[in-house]
Amino acid sequence: MLHQLGNQNSILNQYIAEVRDVEIQKDSLRFRKNMERLGEIFAYEISKHLEWEDKEVITPLGEANCKVLKSQPVVATILRAGLPMHNGILNIFDRAENAFISAYRKHHKNGSFTIQVEYASCPSLDDKVLILSDPMLATGGSMVLTYKELLSKGKPKHTHIVSILGSVEGVEYVKKHLPTSNFTLWLGAIDDELTAKGYIVPGLGDAGDLAYGDKL
């Protein structure tokens, strides 16, 4: 299932406009904050699709029948670009377990690149809800490889994949290579183009560099 939140008018679209804006991008603190805000919005929307249960809560004046999450999700992200968005999701699911994956593009002299996954820190995923975030779903390759790497830590009962921006090609790649029965894809917007180097157009540039500075 695909949810494109930007199709509905909400403050999410304001934040997406700001993370795209080359002038606002000059303020890395604001860029990170907007990414965090977007993570919070996605987490709130995902919460509507989780399992809830009744709980009697003692108040100073009596008892209240409340709805609470039946279980906490595992919140995972791809380093380093995903950290601000991860923090936003974690602000909402503040009792969640966490997972971090080191994945990057290894560029070759002929102009091509391959995705390398080097490290994953993750709790058991067996029968848990996994929320896997990465700001950009460009080719879809890193997201698929990351998901397959995490399967070595157990089989989640459902996976929510979250990206602020995606490409048409990336969305199709994920749909083709991930099981359709137990995953949901959440996007803010989908752009049509993808460059030869795998960058989304118009996109927003390199999210990791914009958040934390240029890398060698």
Decide if 6 contacts 191 (C-beta within 8 A): no
> In the prediction, which pLDDT does 104 show?
67
> pTM of the full predicted structure?
0.91
> In the prediction, which pLDDT does 103 show?
74
- In the chain, count H helices and then E strands: 6, 12
> What does each of the 216 residues of the chain score in pLDDT, given as a tens digit?
899 999 999 999 999 999 999 999 999 999 999 999 999 999 999 999 999 999 999 999 999 999 999 999 999 999 889 999 999 999 999 999 999 998 766 665 676 666 777 788 999 999 999 999 999 999 998 899 899 889 999 999 999 999 999 999 999 999 999 877 799 999 999 999 988 778 899 999 999 999 999 877
Decide if 183 contacts 158 (C-beta within 8 A): yes
Task: List, in sequence order, every residue forming a beta bridge with 193; answer none if it has no partner.
Answer: 201
- Enumerate domains of the chain plus CATH numbers: 2-212 (3.40.50.2020)
Output DSSP code: residue 73: P
> How far apart are alpha carbons 1 and 78 in whole angstroms?
22
> In the prediction, which pLDDT does 211 show?
94
> In the prediction, which pLDDT does 133 show?
96
